[in-house]
DNA sequence: TTGTACGCGTTATCAG
DNA sequence: CTGATAACGCGTACAA
């Protein structure tokens, strides 16, 4: 690895001059610039980001914390954040928190130890204390928060749309899956759905889930039909849960959507691929990720941003798990 | 952020001493150690990894390059790598290459600029040149290679198992999806399947795909049935492609598995959740990721490792898209 | 327009 | 056992 010194020597100038052309700062004669650039090319020099980071006390690194990358919803968020960052020359250190406060703290420490300029966190149960003591900007993603920069979608409206769709399709015995209590967006969805169901005077049951993880959803689906066998409409807490319900419904010999309607939440990519296609509430995850990235960059660069808190609209995607109704 | 100097001052010792207790190197009196540790606790000091990295010319960071995190197979690999790394105090810088050589190089540069100690690459078409000039260990993941450290699964055997399963279920008009030509594991699967089909004197057609991405698989599935309408058995290039085929088959009014059998590849988590469950060749992705992480660490630490090249077994998972046969 | 010298936070060497 | 001090590679006053 060539260093700035090697370049300076090769070009017959001082390191300061090299640094100047590198950062296009200060004055430097056209001819010397040329020489330096040639030297850089000849030596295939590229500046050591670590030394830079040490001197400036800030890197080109951003921390991204997500609950579990194995849940297809998060890679979309992550991808959005990454693309936005890459276009602005930032790179990501990614960590999975698994809803584990210890891991979360561990990663936050890694982030600060590495001079990240900011962090995006899509963690469900952020220990706000940890974030309070942070000196760098933090953007909360997929998480509502009034007093902090955050990007999220309209969970309440999503809940409403889901409930309306199920109602429109004529379900009478609706079961509502309630996501983890500490996850704000999950609760928003829930209350949005409840709101509509109440207004419609519909009868519904509730089944609780404490996690979004794979391993639990199938058991949850089983429990759902055991407890509420008459269920003919399910508002799932997310697409994964919806799949599990579909799976279980088939096992029980129910036909979808004739015997039972199901609405998911998220619209992860596979949802359009399965059969029947899953009707679901779409969150623009990728765009949300990008927005979070953009917001963080603005914060990092100290730009005045009034819009530090933006909510994305959701949308009902009707596919094959709900009944079509004539308009 | 407290620095080592602050700690030294607080403890009334020199920075050298603090450094010693930090790294438990050299001698330090029990009493002074105590004082230092108290100071560390009091100041909530944690060492600046950037400065460390600068001095030692190596960080606690590892680069991970994957084609696209949005494809559910890769998060599993990534998760395995991450967990293994985390347990050994390494952290990940993740990049999506999108099969784009430029992006790949960009990330490789980022990696070296940040003094990563090694990289794991699950990229399909690695520009080996880039890796040759690298001074740090590289582990190729999900990719066969004789002369380089790599972790992959037995694609050929996978292809065989898939073909046998389809044959056992009695399909007569088989269509074989051939993955991207430059992706070695994909070709292995293909040739494994061909091998079995040839031996059985089975009639089969081939449809090519140049990518594994979401947006193309549905079109591909469409093309498949347009070109080979009589198809009653499909060996898909991966689970995502299999889903697309299932979807298309339903659209055409075909019943699975009665009219048509489908076998996927990967066994991504949703495959067990959809209905019918997807019969597929399971690759132990998470374990492979962990193995890659472990191997990289061994390489980094200069341990003698004969096993620099390990192949994981694959396994047929029979679910609902193949016909059960009496043994 | 250019060069010298210092500091960013650590670790390691070498006296004491 | 402990303390100065020189690196690590870079950016920036300050001088020239």
Distances (CA, A) of A135 to A108, A109, A148, B47, B317: 12, 12, 14, 16, 50
- CA of residue B66 to C1' of nucleotide C11, angstroms: 34
Name A46's Cβ contacts closer than 8 Å, sequence gap at least 6.
B109, B112, B113
Residues of B in contact with A85 (CB under 8 A): none
Per-residue pLDDT tens digits for B247-278: 999 999 999 999 999 999 999 999 998 889 99
3-state secondary structure of A8: helix
What is the overall mean pLDDT for chain B?
A: 93
Q: Could B273 and A110 be called an inter-chain contact, meaning their C-beta atoms sit closer than 8 Å?
A: no
Which residue, among B74, B257, B274, would best test binding to A if mutated, counting the most A CBs under 10 Å from its CB?
A: B274
Count of beta carbons in the 10 Å neighbourhood of residue B244: 25
Q: Is the CB of residue B232 less than 8 Å from the CB of residue B261? A: yes
Please state whether strand C lies within 7 Å of residue A24 at its CB atom. no
List the single protein residue with the shortest CA to C1' distance from C8: A55
Enumerate the residues of chain B whose CB falls inside 8 A of the CB of residue A1.
Answer: 112, 135
Q: What tens-digit pLDDT sequence spans chain B (327 residues)?
A: 899 999 999 999 999 999 999 999 999 999 999 999 999 999 999 999 999 999 999 999 999 999 999 999 999 999 999 999 999 999 999 999 998 889 999 999 999 999 999 999 998 766 666 787 788 999 999 988 778 899 999 999 999 999 999 999 999 999 999 988 878 888 999 999 999 999 999 999 999 987 777 778 888 999 999 999 999 999 999 999 999 999 999 999 999 999 999 999 999 999 998 889 999 999 999 999 999 999 999 999 988 777 789 999 999 999 999 998 765
Mean pLDDT of A212-224: 85
CA gap A225, A310 in Å, rounded: 38
What's the CA gap between B241 and A298, in Å, rounded? Answer: 39
Query: Angle at Cα B221 formed by Cα B215 and Cα B227, nearest 5°?
Result: 135
pLDDT confidence of residue B126: 60
A148: three-class secondary structure by DSSP: coil
Query: CA A15, C1' C11: Å apart?
Result: 25
* The pLDDT of residue B184: 84
- Predicted structure pTM score: 0.94
pLDDT at A284 over 80: yes
Per-residue tokens: A27: 């004055």
What are the start-end ranges of the E strands in A213-314?
233-235, 261-266, 280-282, 309-312
Q: Which residues is B312 bridged to in the sheet?
A: B153
Of A1, A13, A3, A323, nearest in space to A171 by CA: A323
């Amino acid at each position: 690895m060539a260093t700035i010194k090697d370049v300076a020597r090769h070009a017959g100038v001082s390191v300061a001059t090299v640094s100047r052309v590198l950062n296009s700062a200060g004055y430097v004669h056209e001819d010397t610039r040329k020489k330096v650039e040639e030297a850089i090319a000849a030596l295939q020099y590229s500046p050591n980001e670590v030394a830079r980071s040490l001197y400036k006390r800030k890197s080109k690194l951003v921390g991204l914390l997500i609950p579990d990358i194995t849940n297809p919803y998060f890679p979309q968020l992550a991808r959005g954040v990454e693309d936005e960052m890459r276009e602005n020359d930032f790179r990501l250190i990614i960590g999975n928190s698994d809803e584990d406060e210890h891991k979360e703290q561990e990663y936050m420490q890694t982030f600060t130890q590495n001079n990240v300029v900011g962090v995006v966190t899509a963690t469900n149960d952020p220990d706000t204390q940890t974030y309070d003591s942070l000196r760098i900007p933090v953007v909360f993603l997929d998480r509502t928060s009034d007093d902090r920069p955050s990007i999220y979608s309209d969970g309440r409206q999503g809940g409403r749309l889901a409930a309306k769709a199920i109602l429109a399709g004529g379900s009478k015995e609706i079961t509502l899956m309630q996501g983890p209590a500490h996850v704000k967006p999950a609760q928003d969805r829930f209350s949005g759905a409840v709101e509509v169901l109440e207004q419609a005077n519909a009868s519904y049951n509730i089944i609780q889930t404490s996690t979004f993880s794979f391993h639990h959803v199938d058991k949850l689906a089983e429990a759902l039909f055991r407890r509420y066998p008459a269920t003919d409409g399910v508002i799932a807490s997310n697409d994964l849960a919806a799949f599990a319900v579909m799976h279980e419904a088939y096992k029980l010999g129910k036909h979808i959507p004739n015997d039972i309607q199901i609405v998911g939440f998220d619209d992860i990519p596979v949802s359009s691929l399965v059969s029947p296609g899953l009707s679901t509430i779409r969150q623009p995850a990728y765009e949300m990720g990008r927005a979070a990235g953009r917001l963080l960059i603005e914060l990092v660069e100290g730009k005045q941003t009034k819009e530090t808190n933006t909510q994305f609209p959701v949308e009902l995607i009707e596919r094959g798990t709900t009944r079509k109704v004539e308009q």
